[in-house]
Amino acid sequence: MNINLLISPQELTSLLAVKSPRTVIIDTRSPEEYAIGHIPQAINIRDFFTYLLDNSYPAGFKQLQEYFAKIMSEVGISGKEHLIVYEDAFNRGYGQSCRAAFLLKYLGCPHVSVLHGGYRAWLAAELPTTNEVPEVESSIFRLHPQAEMMVTTIEMLQAINNPAIIKLDVRDRDEWQGISSSPYGVDFCPRKGRIPNAVWLEWYRLMTSDSGIPMFRPAAEILEICQSLGITSESVVYIYCFKGSRAANVLFALQQAGIHAKNYFGSWNEWSRDFSLPIDNKIIA
């Protein structure tokens, strides 16, 4: 099965018309938003956005794997299906659909797509919505963790003084500047700042709203922006944000431009809480 990472509303419509049990649509929005209206046949799994990795060590990853294997089994997903995830809009959900896609790929699902433009693109195309919740039968989800997709805390620590590895901070400006500790509040985390020797690329820059719907920029534009930071297709890139969500968004944008990257999924939420880990806490004007 040849699956593209990004899928358009029109392509998804064609899949829905076939009504294949091999296609599963996952809505990552809040249960309240889902209840108001969603794409037909979609199931709601908010946990893909809300789950926080306990730690980027074997025990933390094992806990994450078991947590989602249980959820996937309960909603009848085996992992072999074509899984299509969406959020409201790429610039409003802190990359939640990409976080879901990243986690699904990490858990071992080979056929994963993101609805390009999200629910807003679906609505703009005047496609049908529903508030009906599809019935599901439990299944057995088979874990095949792809450990190489994740950057561990130890790996990030070892990379700090290695100029061959680009530490890419993609958080919002106030977080990068050291003014706020997170999107959830200025003092949500105990420390503000950056991972030492990181470079900054605010995640919004790799998207455009020329069509009125936020979408990834063309590959050539993404590559040009990255090259201005010294990032090329030959680079080794470790991306972080607050909890691996905006990092997943950027990771997939880079992937469209032929740049390979890995996600430090624990990101600032984990790093800032471990006082043994170094930070650069100078406030940037």
DSSP per position, the chain: ----SEE-HHHHHHHHHHT-TTEEEEE-S-HHHHHH-B-TT-EE-THHHH---S-SSHHHHHHHHHHHHHHHHHTT--S-SEEEEE-S-TTTTTTHHHHHHHHHHHHT-S-EEEETTHHHHHHHTT---B-PPPP-----------GGGBPPHHHHHHHTT-TTEEEEE-S-HHHHHTS-S-TT-TTSSS--SB-TT-EE--GGGGEE-TTSS-EEPPHHHHHHHHHTTT--TT-EEEEE-SSSHHHHHHHHHHHHTT--EEE-TTHHHHHTT-TTS--B-PPP-
Q: Percent of the chain, pLDDT > 70?
A: 99
Better-scored residue on pLDDT, 51 or 3: 51
pLDDT at residue 119, as a whole number: 98
pLDDT at residue 3, as a whole number: 79
24-79 pLDDT per residue, tens:
999 999 999 999 999 999 999 999 999 999 999 999 999 999 999 999 999 999 99
State the pLDDT confidence band at 20, using cuts at 50, 70 and 90.
confident
Put residue 185 in one of left, alpha, beta given phi > 0 → left and psi -120 to 50 → alpha. Answer: left
Flag whether pLDDT at 141 surpasses 90: yes
Flag whether pLDDT at 1 surpasses 90: no
Flag whether pLDDT at 109 surpasses 60: yes
pLDDT at residue 188, as a whole number: 97
Torsional sign, CA 215, 239, 228, 174? positive
pLDDT at residue 210, as a whole number: 83
Across 104-124, average pLDDT: 97
Burial 205-231, CB ≥16 within 10 A → b, else e: bbbeeeeebbbbbeeeebbebbeeeeb
Taking Cα atoms as reference points, which of 108, 102, 99, 119 lies closest to residue 25? 119
Flag whether pLDDT at 239 surpasses 80: yes
Flag whether pLDDT at 21 surpasses 90: no
Flag whether pLDDT at 13 surpasses 70: yes
Flag whether pLDDT at 180 surpasses 60: yes
pLDDT at residue 147, as a whole number: 97
pLDDT at residue 108, as a whole number: 98
pLDDT at residue 211, as a whole number: 82
How many angstroms separate the Cα of 270 from the Cα of each of 147, 240, 241, 244? 18, 11, 10, 10
pLDDT at residue 128, as a whole number: 97
What is the average pLDDT value for the chain, to the nearest integer? 96
Q: Is 10 exposed, middle or buried (0-12, 13-18, 19+ CB in 10 A)?
A: exposed
Flag whether pLDDT at 122 surpasses 60: yes
Flag whether pLDDT at 227 surpasses 90: yes
Flag whether pLDDT at 216 surpasses 80: yes
How far is it, in rounded angstroms, from Cα 176 to Cα 222? 20
pLDDT at residue 199, as a whole number: 98
Flag whether pLDDT at 281 surpasses 90: yes
How far is it, in rounded angstroms, from Cα 239 to Cα 264? 6
How many angstroms separate the Cα of 35 from the Cα of each of 49, 134, 135? 17, 12, 15
On whether the pTM is more than 0.95, the answer is yes
pLDDT at residue 274, as a whole number: 97
Across 10-17, average pLDDT: 93
